[in-house]
Structures are given as C-alpha cells and as structure tokens.
Chain A
C-alpha cells in the first residue's frame, strides 16, 4: 500500500493501455484509497526527535482520531503536512502526486488542506462574517483581492457555513468577543470556507464545556465523508463519542492503530498512555 509501489506515473509507463485514469498534475489522486501519505518522516529539533520514522496513511473521506501524550509529535505532524515544518527525512504526499514537502503553506492551502491550530487562531478585529469571507475559496492573489466583491453564491456559502457552526446570530460581531468555544467553531468554519479535501483539526475541544463538546462532535461527524477529517485530541470521552479509527502516537511514531476498543485493550498503549 506504500505510495511508491502504486505510483500511477510509474505504472502508466509500464502499462500504457491498462485502462488506468491519467493523472493530471495538480489534481488530487485518491484512486488507491489514501488521500494523505506520510512515509518514514523524521523531524528533529536540536537533536530531539519530535517525529521518528512516522508512517501514516489517511483514507479519503475518513474521520481519523490521533491521540497520544503531550509531546508525542501530533502538532509537529500537522506542521509537516501543512508545510510549516520541513521533514529531515521521509515523504509527505497529498493524493498520489502532490509532494507536500516541496509546497509552501499557501499552496498547500489552495491544494485543499485546511488546518485548525491548537490554540484557536482567528482574526480578532474582523467580524465573524469577515473572518469567513477572508477564508473563502477565491483568487487569493494581491490584485484580484484588491478588487474582490462578494457575489450571491459566495454570500450564500458564508451564510450556510455560519449556520453550520451556529454563529449566524453573531454575524457582525467582532471575533474577539466570541467565547473560547465559539472561536474554535469559527476556525473550523474558516476551514470549511476553503472547500478543503482534508481538514486537520488540532485539539478542537480544549477548554470547551460538555455541551459544546457534544456539538463539536456532531459537527465533525457531519463533515466526514465529504471531507477527510483528522482530529488530534486528548479527551478520551470525546474521541469515543466520534468513534472512528484511532491512531496512537508515541515519541514521534505510531504505537497502535485500530478502533477505540482495540486501541484501549492494546497493552503497549495501556502502558504509555491510557494507564497513566
């Protein structure tokens, strides 16, 4: 299942009439199942290995939870996928053809990977509406941005997302005035505005009330399928409530993978994480 074993370009040359679909560069090719391929990735900071030979695949449309103790390398993994950190070794591909390690942050965002930061990061001086407007998929080069006007379809999209994240009432409030939980939702809404194929969500329920957590779980579950959603989370109850494939990260590599029950009964996992 490794990406290089099933690389379409290679196969294409060998079997020109195999009936395989031609891959257009720039198009996300998920014909083999996974949408994200992380293979043998290592990242070290001053000799300390934050990621250690990490290999991980995310399937198209799945909802994946990634758990692991503090410092396990979860955020660093997201940094690698979104181009913020370059891996020392290993490869990161979006679909089969897009090499994430050679794209810059904004190119990766355009390609279809949206990211929510661990600490909610929104534009505090802008209104909810403006936050969503800025995130909206559009021509984001300088001159087109200067003369950009919102058309009806875009306006409706913003309304729709505001509805999804439950902030319609607060449309014209400054984002700075939102509660912590609302900021998290706004940030998720901003990701949705970009029409991403993959959503990377770093600790979405940190600092949320139980009620807010339930709402967030519903939201994330409703997004899976249309998007691939990767959720990093600490809160076990929350992870169980969105019940999906769980990957346990420990000291920069994958310790276990499976359903919540399988993972919970895995002795290695119990030892390093759940047993604490």
Chain B
C-alpha cells in the first residue's frame, strides 16, 4: 500500500478538469485572435457580438460553479444564488456609473443621471468610494460575502435545512428584487444602472475592451475552477461532502457543521459576486431583474443539467442551457420556459447525474466495465 494517497494534486486524477481547462485555455486565446486578427469579411472572423455573448456565458459558468460548490458538494440547495451575482454586478455597475462623470445627459460630474432626475443634490454615503476601481472590486467580493455571512449564520445556526432553506433563499432574493425596484434606495430603480462609457479608461464599446473582458472571464473561470478543485480535494472538501451525505454523523465525530456550511456558503457567494462583476460590463446593464427568483431557479437547472458535484459539469450546463436560450428565445420566444421546464424534467428523470453523468456511463459501457473504479485508487 502506498503511503499518503491523499496528497492529490488537483488535476492529477481529474481527467474532466484537464479537458475543461484545456478547452478554456484554447478558447481564451483563439477567440480573441479570430476577432482581432482575422479580417471582418473572412469566414473565420468571430464578430465582437459573439465574443461578448461567449464572455457572458463564461460568467454564467462561473456562477454555476459557485452554486455547485454549495449544492452539489454540501447539499445546500440555495434558490437565491443569483442575488449574490446581482450584488456583485451592482457593485461593478456603481463603479461604471461613476466613470461616466460629466458625460451623462445632465452633465453632473458627481451624480449619476438618475439621482439628478430624483433631485438629489449629493451622493449618498454608500456611493462614496465607488469611483475608485480597487474599492469597487473589494465591494464586489465583500457585499455578497457579508450578506451570505449574516444570512447563513442565522439560517445554519437555527439548523434550517432542505426545502425550508430553499424557500428562505427564494424569499431573500425576492426581497432584494423589491428593494432594488425602489427609486429611493438609490440604485436606479427599475432601470437599474446602464449607459456605461468606459472601464479603467478603456472604451466599453471598443473591440479590444470587449475581447479583454472575454479573456478575463475565461481566466477567472479557470482560477475559480482551480480554487474550487483545491477546496474539494482538501480534507475540508471531504468534510463538506460528509455533511451532505450524513450530517449527524459529521457532527458526532466532532465537526461544527454550521461553521463548515457557513464557510462554503460565503465563499460561494463571493465567487458569484465576481461572476456578476464580469457579467455587467459585457452586457452593459444591471437592473433589479437579475434578482428575479426565476433566475436563481434557472441557475439550479443549469447545474442539474450539466451534472452536480463535478464543477465542470455545472459550467457545461450553464453554457448548454444559455446557448439554447439564446437560440430559442430568438426563434420561438414563447416556448423558452416550457423548453426549460421540459429539459429539467427529462434530466431529473433520465439522467440524474446530468450530461457529465451520462457521458461517464457511456464511457464505462464502451470499456465494458460495470463498477466505477474508486477514486484515488493507488496500486
């Protein structure tokens, strides 16, 4: 028997992860090259619109990985995870608003247009500091993290689990939706934040900026994957799965289950926040619609379709579903919700482990093996 079989380098036993990261690395360089270097009339040219669309998918993929961490691995079915994404998006949006400066309709150097419109005369305290990029980036992580900390602390300490937890997370995102709709809250009401001009001095409409944002989305997705992979292959990752499978047992062997749930929940919310911050400059708008309870449910469907507890499965699900959505909402706008519901039903009934699970099953069948080989097996 080999000694120390658990010091697993995170990609050593992770074939799917290797493929996933390789695809991302290739896309990350090839797509920008095909956009910037290939002439627009060439067959191989990738239009900027497509680059941005792909960037948007990648930020969704990051959000899906964040949810997989808490749902797939820890068994916490959060139905409010899009709220953390939206909060990160708003923090980024606030920075972008402040960058507009006097180029707004009212030409006010300090106040965003919607505040001038509300006859406000000075910037509210919570908008202070957002003109500084570094400050806004800290808020992108801190605000979702703090909300998750407070919410999770209350919920996990009270041992709220299962369906009840899912319901209160829905309530959380719904409450935020209603709050952000209010003009008086100072986040632009139902119009949200939009008409952004530039980021760090670079024009948001320029091809190079858009391609850079795409590149960064891919980069952050890879980093997120590495981080999550490190976590789930650590002992903490094994504890988290243990909590999912036998919460009481975990508690009675001496783990403070609440702390572990809180830690993973907060981390996941922070990742969702970063994903939101990457999303907003690419789509050019953030509004309360992002808090819609339906968004969080859709997110769960992405992860279920891709395959839970694999990380890359969640990312794959996000891309598949959103690609279908882009296609279907254009071709047959009224069928999208039905298609999504149908897809979800099919997946839960016929492939409970999602696309990745199905693929693994087929691979095993082709190799003529019946039993899956235990992970981490060492000869």
Q: Tell me the A residues contacting B by CB distance below 8 Å.
A: 82, 84, 104-106, 109-110, 114-115, 117, 121-127, 129-130, 133-135, 137, 140-142, 145-150, 152, 155, 159, 171-174, 190, 193-194
Nearest Cβ distance between residue A198 and chain B, in whole angstroms? 13
Nearest Cβ distance between residue A243 and chain B, in whole angstroms? 28
- Contact B3 A155, beta carbon cutoff 8 Å: yes
- Contact B252 A133, beta carbon cutoff 8 Å: no
Which residues of the partner chain A approach B4 to less than 8 Å between Cβ atoms?
149-150, 155
Residue of B nearest to A105 (CB): B251
Q: Tell me the count of chain B residues lying within 8 A, CB to CB, of chain A.
A: 34
Which residues of the partner chain A approach B50 to less than 8 Å between Cβ atoms?
none
Known contacts A133-B6, A134-B239: A146-B234 contact under CB 8 Å? yes
- Contact A125 B241, beta carbon cutoff 8 Å: yes
CB proximity to A under 8 Å, residues B239-270: 239, 241-242, 245-246, 248-257, 259-260, 263
- Contact B254 A172, beta carbon cutoff 8 Å: no
Nearest Cβ distance between residue A163 and chain B, in whole angstroms? 12
- Contact A106 B1, beta carbon cutoff 8 Å: no
B374: interface (CB < 8 Å): yes
Which residues of the partner chain A approach B6 to less than 8 Å between Cβ atoms?
130, 133, 149-150
Q: How far is the CA of A222 from the CA of B181 in the complex (A)?
A: 68
Q: Tell me the B residues contacting A by CB distance below 8 Å.
A: 1, 3-7, 231, 234-236, 238-239, 241-242, 245-246, 248-257, 259-260, 263, 374-378
Query: Which of B7, B241, B256: most chain A CB closer than 10 A?
Result: B256
- Contact A109 B235, beta carbon cutoff 8 Å: no
- Contact B241 A172, beta carbon cutoff 8 Å: no
Which residues of the partner chain B approach A123 to less than 8 Å between Cβ atoms?
241-242, 245-246, 249-250
What would 10 more interface pairs be, CB under 8 Å, given A110-B254, A171-B1? A106-B256, A133-B235, A134-B242, A142-B236, A145-B255, A146-B235, A149-B7, A152-B3, A155-B3, A172-B5
Nearest Cβ distance between residue B263 and chain A, in whole angstroms? 5
Residue of A nearest to B262 (CB): A142
30 residue pairs A–B, Cβ–Cβ below 8 Å: A84-B248, A105-B251, A105-B252, A106-B251, A114-B252, A117-B248, A117-B252, A121-B248, A122-B246, A123-B241, A124-B245, A124-B246, A126-B245, A127-B374, A127-B376, A130-B6, A133-B238, A134-B239, A134-B253, A135-B253, A137-B254, A142-B260, A149-B6, A150-B4, A155-B4, A172-B376, A172-B378, A173-B374, A190-B249, A194-B253
